[in-house]
Amino acid sequence: MTNLHSFFITTFGCQMNVYDSNLIASMLEGAGLAQAANAEEADIILINTCSVRGGAEDRAYARIAGMRQYKKKKKHLVIVVVGCMAQNHKEHIFDELEHVNYVIGPDNYNRLTDVLLGDEYSGKHSLTEQGGHNNYTGQAAKLDNTISVNIAIMRGCNKKCAYCIVPSVRGKEESRSPEDIYKEIQGAVNQGIPEVVLLGQTVNSYNYHGHRFAALLRDINNIRGLKRIRFTSPHPKHCNDELIQVMTDCSNVCNHLHLPVQSGSNAILKKMRRLYTREEYITFIQNLRASIPRLGLTTDIITGFVGESQKDFEDTLSLVQEVRFDSAFMFSYSPREGTPAYSEKETLSEIEKGARLRQLITLQNTISAEKVREMIGMQETILLEGPSRQNKEELIGKTSCFKKVVVPGSKNLNPGELIKVKLVDVKGNTLIGNSIIASDN
């Protein structure tokens, strides 16, 4: 198809989708296409979709429907739906969105350039075969910023959490080879990137022929020029002493853990099929904090899951009070078709679920504000990211424990540098710091 010269990608959903969009951009640029500044100028529009919540799918459908206007103006325009919703709804997407040309699931991105640029797939096609995770083509994802880049180290999920659509749309777990991962990280570092975020649906279950997550972290910690390593999201089932040891030993691995707990009730954790108890979760956090006192801890929590009693909900509140997370993503349960819990009758009304969610958010917001204030007076090292959006005279950066800090701008301070700061105040949830000395030059 010689009239296809440019592409534009719209991304919904999680960091893995952001990474995949960058991977797709890299593949298409490698095939000679240019990234357009906006959808209107592009010959190919890709919409990378999310299926985790119904609202995310509705937003994707609305965005794709809005693209009919471009197709009317540009007959040769190719519209491609990729990502989890492509896998979830497959060719049924064509029924509602007749202007869509291709539906391509996450395990088939390696065929994208053939589909778009070859003759074999003219007309409408859906490619949604699963297995093999054929995206591990050795291709590095396009860098989308100069400070922190996402790098997928594994794909898929072998868990079966009762509320989650991911295993059915992303398939079985598969870890990427360490050599491939190092190569991609080294390539980013060579271009001046100081921080990587290692991604996986259950990132700490990484296992490439016996090479496990802790060993991988140790090796990445030795990559010269890399200043910071983050990872998301680990699963509590795979949190162990080895992980504590590697986080303690490796100076470039950040003091931050985003560890989804989902509920503080053992009965609900069991119904959710989360594979750990409240006590196991709390004990792990206590052990980790004993080794890393300034740990930043964040989490995900669902309220109002099927069968959640008032006592179960109070168990979640008491866990939040006991653990004192720095922040949390909190949602009320919404059933997803295709998940194990979908067929179970809901036991709470939307009003009751909403009330519980608001109560939880109020509690967590109070704790978040207290935790950030506790840091006033401390010295921390921050990675400078660039000018603050609120005030261009100031620079914003993050601590190792994932707190935002603004400092007065100076010609001696540059994005990408690690600097030591004294934390002197807080505004909202952002700390205010004074720089002390540059610490990495």
Query: Which residues of the shown chain bind ligand SF4 in the complex (CB under 6 A)?
Result: 157, 159, 161, 164, 166-167, 201-202, 235
Whether the Cβ atoms of residue 169 and residue 84 lie closer than 8 Å to each other: yes
Sign of CA dihedral 206, 209, 210, 216: negative
106 versus 167: smaller Cβ distance to ligand SF4: 167
Q: Is the peptide bond before 233 cis (omega within 30 degrees of 0)?
A: yes
156 versus 416: smaller Cβ distance to ligand SF4: 156
Tokens for 76, please give them.
Answer: 């040769």
User: CA–CA separation, 355 vs 349, rounded Å?
Assistant: 10
Tokens for 18, please give them.
Answer: 């952001």
153 versus 185: smaller Cβ distance to ligand SF4: 153
Closest distance to ligand SF4 from the beta carbon of 157 (Å):
3
Neighbours of 87 (CB within 10 A): 27
167 versus 433: smaller Cβ distance to ligand SF4: 167
Query: Across-strand partners of 208?
Result: 211
- SS3 label, residue 344: coil
**To which residue do tokens 């909190």 refer?**
330
Closest distance to ligand SF4 from the beta carbon of 331 (Å):
12
Closest distance to ligand SF4 from the beta carbon of 269 (Å):
12
Closest distance to ligand SF4 from the beta carbon of 275 (Å):
9
**H or E stretch at 437:** strand 430-438
Whether the Cβ atoms of residue 264 and residue 319 lie closer than 8 Å to each other: yes
Closest distance to ligand SF4 from the beta carbon of 205 (Å):
9
- Nearest CA to 57 out of 26, 86, 18 is that of 86
132 versus 338: smaller Cβ distance to ligand SF4: 338
Closest distance to ligand SF4 from the beta carbon of 267 (Å):
18
